[in-house]
Amino acid sequence: MATYAIGDIQGCFQELNNLLDLISFSETDDYLWLTGDLVNRGPESLKTLRFIKSLGDRAITVLGNHDIHLLAAAQANKSHRKDTFDEIFSSPDRGELLNWLRQQPLFHHDERSGYSMLHAGVAPQWDLVKMQSLANEVEEVLRSDNYPEYLAHIYGNVPDIWSDNLQGWKRLRCITNFFTRVRYCNENGQMEFSEKGPPGSQADGWKPWYEIKNRESADLKIIFGHWSTHKLAHELSENNIGNHNVFPIDTGCLWGGELTAFRLEDGALFQLNCDHRSKT
């Protein structure tokens, strides 16, 4: 039995199948962790959703910004020009798939292995208990009958800094943006959304969220996706990135990079080259 964490798929279903063949994944013996962004921009979002759903408790996925965007687009019956949701919208199992998707968590922590998983990042003030509690606030609303109102209020970059005093939709939007969108923060924990390049390319005053001094979650082993330009550092196979206890595994399959699987039990890495995608 093995547990494999896999980075953002974004509808690249064939590449996912090829990677599962590479690691000899067993649907009866092994487990998958998915960092979110199962869908969008790639060609086979519908097949990806159907497959991950079919795995039942053999797969754990957290919600990414593209997954939440799918739910919002479906609710509004309107998608963006670059979205690839049409096949999902017209499928006979659309309702079943979307209902399954909104039951998925924002954050997952496994006490046995000591690993946590989220899509993007966290506020520096959040420890494990806070992360679990705040993720649950969003999950409860998304799973309730009030989810259409949540989806209608989810877009926007403000508030861009966490405060325990935040309330209502502003509070839920800030929680969601940390878990699904953040890459860079300043030392106060203020999010910066326009910087999308790899660490070291950002303007002065901003740091990767995991480099903020005295981050309360620094003792957690956090697997995350979302940041395709980050790329995979060799340190990951040894323990973590720069001793920050983080494991970034979105390696840009959609953009012609790789699709990466990280085996939790021993830290082994498996990568599928997706360079043909840069030509299509």
Q: What parts of the chain have a pLDDT lower than 50? A: 279-280
| Residue 164 lies in domain | 3-279
Distance of CA 40 to the CA centre of its chain: 13
CATH code for the domain in which residue 224 is found = 3.60.21.10
Domain count of the chain? 1
pLDDT tens across 223-254, in order?
A: 999 999 997 755 565 555 667 999 999 999 99
What burial letters (b/e) apply to 145-162, b meaning 16+ CB within 10 Å?
eebeebbeebeeeeebbb
User: What's the pLDDT score for residue 242?
Assistant: 60
What burial letters (b/e) apply to 98-131, b meaning 16+ CB within 10 Å?
beebbebbbbbbeeeeebbbbbbbbbbbbebebb
Sheet holding 3-6, edge to edge: 59-61, 31-34, 3-6, 258-263, 269-273
Sheet holding 115-118, edge to edge: 107-109, 115-118, 221-224, 246-248
Say which amino acid occupies 115: Y
User: What's the pLDDT score for residue 231?
Assistant: 78
Calpha distance 126→130 (Å, rounded): 5
Distance of CA 148 to the CA centre of its chain: 21
Task: Give the tokens for residue 125.
Answer: 């003030």
User: What's the pLDDT score for residue 280?
Assistant: 44
Say which amino acid occupies 193: F
Torsional class of 5: left (φ above 0), alpha (ψ -120 to 50), beta (otherwise): beta
DSSP for 113-141, written as a single string? T-EEEESS---TT--HHHHHHHHHHHHHH
Task: Give the tokens for residue 83.
Answer: 């979205």
Tokens 């990951």 appear where? 236
221-224 and 115-118 beta bridge pairing = parallel
Let me know how long the chain is.
Answer: 280
